[in-house]
Amino acid sequence: MRLRKEPDTMQEEDILLIARVSDALAHPARIKIFRFIMNANRDRKKICNKDVVEAFDYSQATISQHIKKLVTSGLLEVQKSDRFSYYYANLGVLMKYLDATKKFPPTV
Amino acid sequence: MRLRKEPDTMQEEDILLIARVSDALAHPARIKIFRFIMNANRDRKKICNKDVVEAFDYSQATISQHIKKLVTSGLLEVQKSDRFSYYYANLGVLMKYLDATKKFPPTV
DNA sequence: TTAATATATCGCCTATTAACAATACATGAG
DNA sequence: CTCATGTATTGTTAATAGGCGATATATTAA
């Protein structure tokens, strides 16, 4: 495998980010919910809680809890409008997470 | 940000891998322990439980538990020899995890 | 054989997770 | 205003996480 040639630059900040986002992604349902919302955003579709409940086989309460965890991690954002909560994937947080994990492979 | 141009190829297998490894990386101590062992491997140093205990401010029992979780996820492997348990980072699992997470960004 | 060392596991505690039904809380519709 | 609807929260239960001291187990050293 290829190893990084740059110096080891993973900082405490990176470690905390990885831990926080990993905690949010540690359940298959949350990975799927996050991707469902992210892909809907790409198609310019607004996604509310009800849409997610209908797309997955979990109760409304459970979906709300999973989404809450995704919001806490920063991966999702909420915008309340009308009587709905619309969710949006925060691609910046996703990218920071992916960049941080790139620093895992050991330097040579 | 740049988006992937390839079709969406994240499969159930990828999702389960990400969930499993993310669960292992969901605690800062485990990220640090994993990196400690991975970097020692790079320097051809053998790392046993005691080495990890001395490097971090946790009890031997707690370190053993964290390492157990890393082993369960596949990120670490154990080789028992003498009266020691030597740990090795499984870079293949790490790479598979990093490859799977690359499939997160939505296709365009 | 006995003592020392290394590691895993047990027991205990507290906190959190995960799931759900039920309820509370908004806010828009009639 | 009242009702219906969407969403968040509460309460419950079972399971898991996270920490540690103590113990069990295994193996090496003396």
Q: Quick one: pLDDT band at residue B104, thresholds 50, 70, 90? A: very high
A12-100 has which fold? Answer: Arc Repressor Mutant, subunit A (1.10.10)
Q: Is the CB of B22 under 7 A from strand D?
A: no
B7 has pLDDT over 90: no
* CA B58 to C1' D21, whole Å: 13
CA distance B108 to chain A (A): 8
Q: Quick one: pLDDT band at residue A108, thresholds 50, 70, 90? A: low
Residue with more model confidence, A6 or B12: B12
CA-closest candidate to residue A47, choices A18, A11, A76: A76
Q: Quick one: pLDDT band at residue A9, thresholds 50, 70, 90? A: confident
Domain ranges of chain A: 12-100
User: Looking at residues A22-40, what average pLDDT do you find?
Assistant: 98
Residues of B in contact with A9 (CB under 8 A): none
Query: Least CB-CB distance to A104: which of B19, B94, B106?
Result: B94
pLDDT, tens digit (0-9, with 9 covering 90-100), for B50-61: 999 999 999 999
B45: helix, strand or coil: coil
Both tokens of A40, joined, read 């809907």
B108 has pLDDT over 70: no
Query: Least CB-CB distance to A42: which of B32, B35, B106?
Result: B106
Contact yes or no for B6/B107 (Cβ under 8 A): yes
- CA B63, distance to chain mean position in Å, is 15
CATH architecture entry for B12-101 = Orthogonal Bundle (1.10)
pLDDT, tens digit (0-9, with 9 covering 90-100), for B14-25: 999 999 999 999
Looking at residue A106, what is its pLDDT? 74
Residue with more model confidence, B1 or A37: A37
Give me the A residues in range 7-66 that sit within 7 A (CB) of strand D: 48-50, 53, 60-61, 64-65
Both tokens of B59, joined, read 């009890």
